[in-house]
Amino acid sequence: MTTIKIKGMTCNHCVMAVTKALKGIGAIKNVKVDLQKGEATFDEADPVDMDTIREKIKKAGYEVES
């Protein structure tokens, strides 16, 4: 299980957008986004490059904190 911090989420629409962005990456499963904590957790069926995740989140309009 991987947990990442995401900046810029303010409502459930943001949660949906981030969830969709992560689910769009084939190897990512079991996505859960926590609005209160500003975190996303997920499992990786195969290792996913953090840059790929960062890029997808950015395209959705949010930012991965590192």
Q: List the one residue out of 53, 50, 63 whose CA is nearest residue 10.
A: 63
Given a contact cutoff of 8 angstroms between Cβ atoms, the answer to whether 57 and 2 are in contact is no
43 beta partners: 29
Beta carbon of residue 24, minimum distance to Cu ion (angstroms, whole number): 18
Beta carbon of residue 44, minimum distance to Cu ion (angstroms, whole number): 26
Binding site for Cu ion (CB under 5 A): 10-11, 13-14
Beta carbon of residue 13, minimum distance to Cu ion (angstroms, whole number): 4
Q: Which is nearer to Cu ion, 13 or 47 (CB)?
A: 13
